[in-house]
Structure 1
Amino acid sequence: MHLRKFYTIEVADKQAWENTIKACIFYDIYHTHFYHSLESSFPSVLFVSEFNDELIVFPFKVRNIEDTGYFDLTSVYGYCGPISNKRFSTLSEEHFAFFHAAFTEFCRKNYIVSVFSRLHPLCDYGNFFRASGEVADINKTVVIDLRQSPESHLRNYRKSTRHEVRYLREKNFVVVEKKGPENINHFIEMYYKTMEKVRAFDRYYYDKDYFHGFLNNDDYEVILLSVEKDGVFAAGAIFTVVGNVMQYHLATTAEDFIKDAPMKLVLDEARLLAIKKNLHFLHLGGGFAGRDNDNLYLFKSGFSKMRLQFSVWKHITDINQYNKLVTYNDIWRKVNNFFPLYRN
């Protein structure tokens, strides 16, 4: 008898959510119940498809479309996408077809107009998205393969990056792991100043509860590394550790130290820490707002020659209602590369 089962797990059921993602061969912080409960602006749902011994798991946030009675699905900030208990390249085509049919029916019954998900660059999705929607390549991300020798890491650093890391050490910049409310609040203050300087989108302005909840959770390892000069904060970054991946999450540099580029020392120390933890990858991510030609991307690319593709999945599940919403809001005339077009 064949097992075919499609169901959802609400974010209120922490144990079921965690048990399900931990049955997969790969997941990152962005798939966890912890992260979805922290990003609480909209409720989260975990879609689960069981097909014989195969498992497909796909987390989303459910957003209401104001004054319409309709909804759409989106992913949390970061690198999300579907995960499985097997490699996607080995999953059966029958399971792909079953998932997409069941998912489409769920969307139809629950008035879901469109679906958007950021995908994880470290995951190979095979043919999973072939049958539905569009996968759009956004930019490249930078990753350090920690399975290589530390000597090869340094050879793959840009020459100027190696020089500046040495300079920072010689000038007595020191990286320390910070804990406690006072240190977190100081990081938050510096982070807000950085976001104001770069005129970041509103979604990057997390409130203080987000940072404290993120750094003081009991479920997953989250690390705040700060670089100091003579006891003065120069720069800091938050890293997550899940499975064999260390993820560079959020960072800031104090205005007085920008010319010294102290964040380079933070990333070098994060690499050494990840090696001690026997991790496989330090994923640095890409440029600001999906760009791969800005200063942030150029900064990160100085640490490795290895690149991954960051892509997103865009899927319209109710084309008639989608077109009505686009026409009603008329946003497409102003932001013609945004998805979904009825949101700004």
Structure 2
Amino acid sequence: MKHVITLTQKDTWMAYVERSVNFDFYHTWTYHVLHSAEGDALLFVYEKGLDFIAFPLLKRRIPCSDFFDMSSVYGYSGPISSREFAALSLEFILDFKNALLEFFQEQGIVSVFSRLHPFFNQEPLMENFEGVVENGKVVALDLTISLDEQRKQYQERAHRKIKQLRKRGYYVKEASASEDIQTFLAIYTSNMIRLGASDYYMFNEEYFTQLLKSDEYDARLLFVYDDTGYPICGAIIVLTNQIIQAHLLGTRKEYLSDSPAKLLIDEITLLGRELGMKYYNLGGGLSFKEDSLYEWKKSFSHLTFNYQSWRFIVSRDRYNAILSETGIDKESTIDFFPLYRSQPQKV
């Protein structure tokens, strides 16, 4: 049986997530509310007996069209289930696939894009669909090994910088007051402007406030302070099911040369160990390329996980027609999906 849960059905959405053997805060009702301006959030569920597969998505109208596409929220999401995907029968998986494709057809969906979760083995399910793409790797710190073993993986330069910052009186402390959120907003926004980030990566105070106060997961705001008690670097981390996600980070421009984020990473692993976390996911490079950002993250850990996305075309004819209408070559090699959203469109 298939059914669709919307944001108006908060308790039902939360119940499916909580019953899943693996889930992250990216799957939660709260997080989808925060990103609901990007599309109509829904949780597609296929259920048989006690088993289910649930897939959170955002439904978006395609500009100048009577059709829609689907995407995922910012972060690592993809399907979740009552069992490990490898433990589900092929019959159940194929029934889910048929129900999902039928749903796409009913909804006039042209294409679907979803980021997948590098820590959950979603492959036994997703290998039955076309369009799974390798997107690179994410870097994670293993908090199940000893702290000494963890720190031995730091590059010498990173290790030295952390020691220097502690010696100079820099320290890390959790913050939660409204003025702290405003401070982080200013640091983060300035950081994004400096990096030339798109509006997609800009958030307001209400976003941070709601993200931090949810009871569906443990989100925390931490700052690095200099020896005068001035906050110079901040991060929002989210702890869910023994995984810490480095969700958002920002450093004041005038303190970049001090690399306070290095101290912050080390201190977060100490917090994670206290709270029984297994991994601290630092993420990948820009657009998940093995660039300077990726190498910076690799300076803390040798452990990486493959990161994939699902790029599925439901209707090839409609997809190509929209490309033609927008003047985009269907043979383009631009790494963007769907291609018709790779450039600004008239609404």
Normalised by the shorter chain, which TM-score bucket?
Answer: over 0.9
Name the residue aligned to 1:98: 95
Q: State the 1:329 CA deviation.
A: 0.8
5+ unaligned residues in a row in structure 1: which ranges? Answer: none
Name the residue aligned to 2:345: none
Name the residue aligned to 1:20: 16
Number of residues paired by the alignment?
339
The alpha-carbon distance between structure 1 residues 109 and 248, as it changes in their structure 2 partners (threshold 3 A), is same
Partners of 1:283 and 1:47 in 2: CA distance? 27
Q: Find runs of 4+ consecutive structure 1 residues off by over 6 angstroms.
A: none
Name the residue aligned to 1:48: 45
- 1:249 corresponds to 2:247: yes
Give the 3-state SS of the residue equivalent to 1:177 in structure 2. strand
Partners of 1:12 and 1:156 in 2: CA distance? 46
**After the TM superposition, which residues 143-158 of structure 1 pair with which residues of structure 2 at under 5 Å, given as runs?**
143-158=140-155
**After the TM superposition, which residues 1-344 of structure 1 pair with which residues of structure 2 at under 5 Å, given as runs?**
5-41=1-37, 42-229=39-226, 230-294=228-292, 296-332=293-329, 336-344=334-342
- Taking every aligned residue pair, what percent have the same amino acid on both sides? 33
The answer to whether the 8 A contact 2:25-2:216 is kept is no
| Alignment-mate amino acid for residue 123 of structure 2 | G
Give the 3-state SS of the residue equivalent to 2:42 in structure 1. strand
Q: State the 1:335 CA deviation.
A: 7.0
The answer to whether the 8 A contact 1:142-1:301 is kept is yes
The alpha-carbon distance between structure 1 residues 54 and 219, as it changes in their structure 2 partners (threshold 3 A), is closer
The answer to whether the 8 A contact 1:335-1:341 is kept is no
| Alignment-mate amino acid for residue 231 of structure 1 | G
The answer to whether the 8 A contact 2:138-2:288 is kept is no
The answer to whether the 8 A contact 2:212-2:221 is kept is yes
Q: State the 1:122 CA deviation.
A: 0.2
Relative to structure 2, which stretch is displaced further, 158-167 or 31-40?
158-167
Q: Deviations over 1:224-253 (max 9, x none)?
A: 110011111211111001111111100001
Partners of 1:51 and 1:281 in 2: CA distance? 33
Q: State the 1:160 CA deviation.
A: 1.4
The answer to whether the 8 A contact 1:331-1:343 is kept is no
Q: State the 1:321 CA deviation.
A: 0.9
Q: State the 1:51 CA deviation.
A: 3.0
Partners of 2:334 and 2:170 in 1: CA distance? 46
Partners of 2:134 and 2:164 in 1: CA distance? 37
Q: State the 1:338 CA deviation.
A: 1.4
Partners of 2:119 and 2:290 in 1: CA distance? 17
Partners of 1:326 and 1:132 in 2: CA distance? 23
TM-score under structure 2 length normalisation: 0.94
The answer to whether the 8 A contact 1:134-1:313 is kept is yes
| Alignment-mate amino acid for residue 207 of structure 1 | N
CA RMSD, Structure 1 to Structure 2 (Å)? 1.4
Partners of 2:128 and 2:217 in 1: CA distance? 35
Q: State the 1:62 CA deviation.
A: 0.6
TM-score under structure 1 length normalisation: 0.95
